[in-house]
A and B are shown apart, each in its own frame.
Chain A
Amino acid sequence: MANKMAVATAAADAAPARIDPVRLELVKNAIGSVVDEMVLTVVRIAYSSIMKDTMDMSSAFCDRKGRLIAQGLSLPLHLGSIPDAMDAVLAEYGDTLVPGDIVVLNDPYQGGMHLPDIFMFQPIFVEDHLLGYGVLVAHHNDMGGRVPGSSAADSTEVFQEGLQIPILKLYDRGVPNTTLLKILARNVRVPDTVLGDLYAQEAACRIAERGMHELAVRYGVEEIERCFDALLDYSEREARRTIASIPDGVYTYTDYLDDDGIHPNEPVEVKVTLRIKGEELVADLTGTSPQVRGAINSTLSFAKSAIYFAIRAIMFSDAPNNAGFMRPIRVEAPEGCLFNPVRPGAVAARGVSGFRLIDATFGALAQAVPQRPRAAGEGGTTSYSIGGYTADGRFVLFREALMGAWGGGYRREGVDGVANPAANISNAPIEVIENTAPIRIERYELVCDSGGAGTWRGGLSVSRQLRFLGERATFQLRSDRRQHPPFGLFGGSSGKPSNTELEEKNGWRQLPTKFTQSLGKNQAFRHFTAGGGGYGDPLQRDPQALLHDVRNGKVSIEAAHRDYRTVIVRSPWRIDEEATRALCEQSAGGSR
C-alpha cells in the first residue's frame, strides 16, 4: 500500500520530496495560516473600502527561487499573477536584495496587471540565508490618470491610466524611498488613502516575515525548504489527478465581449482551445481578437489566472494554490492579442476580459465534463466610480462593484444575487454609503425573470438605482454581457442581458456598456447585472421548484407559461394541471 503515492508521483519530473504525511499537513496548515493572516492584517488596517470590504488583494509566500509556495485567502483572479510578478523582480534584482528591502511595482508590462494593483515584495532572511519572499498585491483606490479610480474602460494608452511604477525599492535597507512616496502622493487623487493602504501592505509583509521566520527556526531551514518542495509536489499531484479525470481531447469555445469601450458595436472575440492529454492541459488562446484600443486588454499573467481559476474550480481538492498546481497547465496566447498585449496598450479594465475567458473555459470544459462546470454567471463585476464634489466642496471618490448571479449546473440551482466565484467580494452597505458619500441608494433588489430558464434555473441578477446628491461628478462604469448574454448549457436558456440607464428629464436613457461621462446634481442611474444561464431543458424543471420561484416573484406567471409551459395560478398558489397539460399538447402539436 505504501507505494500508492510513489506511483502517483512518479509522473512528476522532480524526485518526490520525502516528507511524511503528518509533517506535510502540519507545515501546509502553518504556511496557510501565515498567508491568510497577511490578508486579515490588510483587511483590518487598510483605509479604503476596496481593500477592507471588497478585499481586492492577494497574499503569498514564494521561496528563494521565486516559486509560489502558498497563496492566501484572496481574489482567485490573482492566482496566476504573483509568479509572473515575482519573476520580473528576480530578473531585476537577482539575489542582491538584503534585509530591510521592500520592492514594489505596478507596471503591467513589467510584472504587473493594471496600474491600481501595487505588488509588494519583502525578502525574508533567516540569519544570512534568503528563505523567500512575502508578497502582497492589492488594488488601490486611485492611481491617478484621466479618470477618478484609474479603472476606466475607455482609455487608449497606459499613459492615460495613471502613474506607472517600474520595479523599485520602496525601502532600501530599511530606509524609505521618500522620492517614490512623494511622487506617488502627488499623482493620486486620494493620497491619504493610498499611503494608508500601502502601509497596510507593508504590515502584511512583516506578518509573513515573522511567521515564516518562526517556522524556519522551528523546523530548520533545510527541512522547511524540503517541505516547500513537498508542497509543490502535493498540489501538482492534485492538479494532475484532476486533469487526468477529463477525457483526452481538444475542446474549443468562443465567447464574446460586447465591445472594447471605444468602438460600441464591435464585439471582441474570446476563443479558448483546451488540449487535454493525460495529466496535462494546454489552454491555447489563438483565435482571440487582437489587442484592442480600449482598456480591456489583459496581461498574460491575468489570462493565466483565469485559466487556473477554471481548473481549480473543477478540482476535487483544496490543495494549496502554488506553483506545483500550475506545472501541468500551460497557457499560450500570441503576442499582440487581447491576452498578451504590448506597450502602450491600455489595460485598466482588463477584469472583464478575464471573466469572459473563465466563461469560455467553462464552456469548453462543459463539452468534456458536462456535470462539472455551471452555465455562465453574470459575466463579472460591473464596476463603477463616481468622483465628485459635495456641496461644501469636498472631493469624494465613491466606487463599488455590482454582482451577480451563478448559472445553473448539473443538479445545482443557479445562485441568485451572489459574488462571482472568481472575484469574491462584498457589496457596500447602503447605510454606510449614505452616511459617508453624497449618494442615495434608491433600490437594490433581485430582478424577476433574469435567470435563464432551465431544468436548473440560472441565478437572478441584481439591480441598483442610485442618485448623486453632490454638485458635479465624473462617472465611469464598466459592464458587459448586453449583446452577448450569459450562455445556458444543454438546453438551458441564456440569462437576461445587463443594462444601464440614466435618468433624464423625459425618462430613462440607455447608456453604453462602458463609458466615462458627467453626472449632475440629483441625477440618478440604474444598473441591471446580467442573469445566470440555465442548465438543461426547462420543460424538465421540477414543477414544485417552478411554483416556488413564481410564489417568490423570481419567475413571473407569464415566464412560467412561456418558458416552462406551465400554468400557475394564485390565491391559493398552485399549478393548474389541466391547463398545463393542454398547453403542452398544444405546443407539442404546434412544433410538429
Chain B
Amino acid sequence: MSGEHPLRVGVDIGGTFTDIVFVMADGTLHKRKVPSTPADYSTAIIEGISAFCAEHGIAASRIAEVQHATTVATNAILERKGARTALLTTEGFRDVLELRRIRIPMSYDLDWQKPLPLVEREWRIEVRERLDAQGKVLTELDPRALEPVIDSLRAGDIEAVAVCLLHSYRNPQHEITVVDLLRERLPSVYVSASHYVLPEMLEFERTSTTVVNAYVAPLIARYLTALRARLEELGTKAPLLVMQSNGGLISATVAAQRPVTIIESGPAAGVVAALRLARDCGYPDVLTLDMGGTTTKASIIEQGEILRATEYEVGSAVSISSRLMRGNGYVLRIPVIDISEVGAGGGSIAAIDSGGSLRVGPRSAGASPGPACYRQGNEFPTVTDANLVVGYLNSDSLAGGSIPISRELAEVAVQMHVAEPSGLSLLEAAHGIHLVANSNMVRAIKSVSVERGRDPAEFVLMVFGGAGPIHAAGVARELGIKRVMVPPAPGVFSAFGLLRADVEQHAARTILTSSSDLDLAALNAVFAQMRAELTGILVDEGYTADAVSVTAHVDMRYRGQSSEITVSLQQFPVTEAEVRLAEQRFEEEFERTYGHRGQSKAFELVTARLIASVARHADASGGWADDRPVTGAAAQRSLYFGQDHGQVSTPVIGRADLTPQPRSGPLVVHEYDTSVIVPPGCSASLDSHGNIVIDVHYG
C-alpha cells in the first residue's frame, strides 16, 4: 500500500448533495458538490470524479485510493428496504427483539407506536439449546432439529439470517454450529452470528445489532460491489475504503461482512476532520457543531481524543438529544463516536404554539420544499428564513447564489406566523427564531459535555456544515465558550475528514470479573486473541503487521453499579501494577464525570476492548486550491443583533481579508457556501491553518 499517491478521493453522500474532496500529490485540496442521485448513489460519485479528472486532465488510473462515507445503510433501515431477514434464537426468547427494553421514548404520548421489528415474529425461529451465564451447556443443541428450519428458510425466500443465542459471548460453540450448517446448506443466504458481530453481554442489544447487520448486509454488499465495478469502468483499481461509525476506515470487503459498523459514516468523518484539525492547531479540548438542513450534531474531543459511546439508535425520528429518550429506533451496540443530534437545522420550522411560546422544530421543511425563501411552496418560516430577515444571510449566501431565493417570502412567513401572533416586530421575531434555534443546539452540546460532567466553557467550539457558522458565536455565548473556529471549506468538511482518517478495526469481549482476584493470564489471552484477529484482518487487507499499532481499553465500574467507564491500558501484557493504574484512572474519570468517588474500592472489569490501526491520513498541507474569491457581495449589509444593539451596518468581507490581527465584530465573512457571523462583542482573526478564529468576549 506504499508508494506514490497521485490522487486520493474522499466522497461523502448526503441526502441532497454528494461532496467530493480530492487531494493532489502536492497536498493541495479540491472540492466538488454535486446533487445526490438517490436512485443509484454511485452515479453522482462517478460523474463527480470523472468530471473533475476531465477538467484537470488527470487519468482516472492515477487515483490511488477512494475513501467513502455513505447513507445507503441508514436509508435502507429508514425506508425498510433491507433484506428479507430471519432470526434464529434460543427457545423461549424469540420476542426479545420485539420486547426491546420495554421503555417508551416519550411519556404522555398515547399515539405512540413501537417501530416494527426488522424481523417479524413469523421469522423469529426458536432453537432448542441453552447455556448458562458461564457459558456451560445446559441443553445441548441438536443439529438435526435445524433441518426443518432450513427448509422453511429456503421456502420463505429468506435472504439473510441473524443468529443470536443466549450467553454466546461466553461460549460461541452453539452459534458456530448453527452458522456453519446454514452456510453449508443455504450458500446464497447471508448469515450473521452475534458472537462475531458483538461478543458482549446484553441479549436485546446483541440481537438487535446482529439483526440490523443481517438486514443491511446484502444491500451494502451489492452497493459496494457495484461502486467498485463502476470505479473500474472509470479506469481505476484503487482500493475503496469505507468510514465506520467509530471514525476509522475499513476496506469495502470488510465493510460488506460487518456493515453494521458503517451506518453513521458521514457524521463520523466530520468529527475525524475536526480531530485532525484540533491536533494540528494544538487545541486538546474541542466541541464540534455540525449544522445541516434538518438536524444539528455535536460531539466532543478531549485531550486530543474522540470520545466514543458504546450504543446508539438508528432510524429514530430525532427530536431531542437526550439519552433517556430511547425507543424510537433500532439499537446498535457498537463503538461509535458519541454524537448527539437535535432536530434543529436550517429547514426547521418556527411557530408560536397555542400557549404563546416560540417553538423551532422538530418539524422541518427539509431540502424540499425547503425554507419559504426557496419559492417552492413552503409558507412557514424556517431558521434559514429568519437568518435572511435579520441579514445574517443574503441572496448570494446560499450555494454562491445558485439557489434563487426570495427575501420577501421569508419576511412574509416570519411576519404571518411569528411576528403577528406574538406582537413582536418582524426583526424581533426573526431574531427570536435565531435565538431559539441556538438554544436547541445548546442542548445537543450539553448532551455530550455537561451530561458527562464537562464544562463546555473550557472547550473550543469547532463549527462546520452549511449553516453552522451563522449560529456558532451565539451558541458559544450561551455556553460560556470563549473561542470558535470555522475551518476552511466547512461545507465539505466530512468529505475532507475521510481523507484524514486512519484504517481501524475494533474488537470487544465481555470479561466481567472483579479487579482484585483477576486472572491476568486469562485477560492477556483475551487481548492476544483480539490482537491476532484484528491484525489478521489488516494483513489480509495488504497492510504489513509492522504498520499495525494497537491500543487497549477496558470498561470498568464500581462493583454493584451498572454504568461503566472506558479507561486505557498502557502496558502489555497487562501486569498487576497496570491493573492498579487502571483502577486509578477509573476513579479519576469517575470523579470528573460524577463529582465524587465511590465508597467501596471494589472494581469490576466488564469489557475488554482493542483497537488496531494503520496510519493512513493524507497530507493536506497544500491548502484549498479552488477557494475563488466570492463576488457579488455588498461591502456593507444591515444586520440585526437584538434589542441591545439593534440594526447595525456591518462590513462584509472575505476570509482572505482577515489577518492574524483580531478584527472587532460585527462582521460578516462571506463564503461560497455559508456566511460566518461575527456579532458585536466578538472579534475574528485568521490563523496559520486558514481557520477563522472568533473570540467571544465576556464581561
Contact = CB atoms under 8 A, between A and B. Distances in A.
Nearest to B168: A431
A445 B324 contact: no
Given A22-B436, A309-B108, A427-B102, A193 B423 contact: no
Interface in A281-315: 309, 312-315
A53 B166 CA distance: 20
Nearest to B423: A2
Contacts of B594: 41, 44-45, 203
A199 B108 contact: no
Contacts of B421: 1-2, 4-5
Interface residues of B, number: 74
Interface string B351-366: 0111111111000000
A440 interface: yes
A26 B110 contact: no
Interface residues of A, number: 90
A266 interface: no
A42 B442 CA distance: 22
B358 A29 contact: no
B99 interface: yes
A404 interface: yes
B354 A53 contact: no
A425 B103 contact: yes
Given A309-B108, A435-B133, A552-B121, A22 B92 contact: no
B114 interface: yes
A21 B432 contact: yes
B644 interface: no
B640 interface: no
B688 interface: no
Contacts of B431: 22
Interface in B94-115: 94-96, 98-99, 101-104, 107-114
Interface of A: 1-2, 4-5, 8-9, 20-22, 24-26, 28-30, 33, 36-37, 39-41, 43-47, 49, 52-53, 55, 73, 76, 192-193, 195-196, 199, 203, 206, 234-235, 237-238, 241, 309, 312-319, 372-374, 403-404, 406, 409, 412-413, 415-419, 421, 424-427, 429-432, 434-435, 440, 442-446, 462, 465, 551-554
B46 interface: no
Contacts of B109: 313, 421
B110 A409 contact: yes
A375 to B, nearest CB: 11
8 contacts: A24-B357, A25-B436, A29-B442, A46-B561, A203-B595, A434-B133, A442-B92, A446-B121
A199 B98 CA distance: 35
Interface stretch (B64-72, B196-204, B569-577): B196-204
A241 B356 CA distance: 12
B560 A40 contact: no
A196 B598 contact: yes
Nearest to B133: A434
Contacts of A440: 132
Contacts of A553: 121-122
Nearest to A435: B133
Contact of A431 (B94, B202, B558): B202
Interface string B416-430: 000011111000100
Contacts of A409: 110-111
B551 interface: no
A417 B102 contact: yes
B560 A417 contact: no
A432 B562 contact: yes
Contacts of B593: 44
Given A2-B422, A29-B439, A203-B594, A374 B102 contact: no
A374 B110 CA distance: 7
B563 interface: yes
B592 interface: no
B561 A237 contact: no
Interface in B118-156: 120-122, 132-133
Contacts of B112: 415
Nearest to B353: A317
A434 B599 CA distance: 26
Contact of B95 (A195, A412, A417, A442): A417
Interface in B338-358: 352-358
A444 B324 contact: no
Contacts of B354: 237-238, 241, 316-317
Contacts of A47: 558, 560-561
A186 B438 CA distance: 50
Contact of A22 (B202, B358, B560, B595): B358
Contacts of A443: 92-93
B113 A552 contact: no
Interface string B297-335: 000000000000000000000000011110000000000
Contacts of A372: 110
Interface in B152-175: 166-167, 169
A203 B121 contact: no
Contacts of A193: 560
A413 B594 CA distance: 42
Interface stretch (B391-399, B443-451, B481-489): B443-451
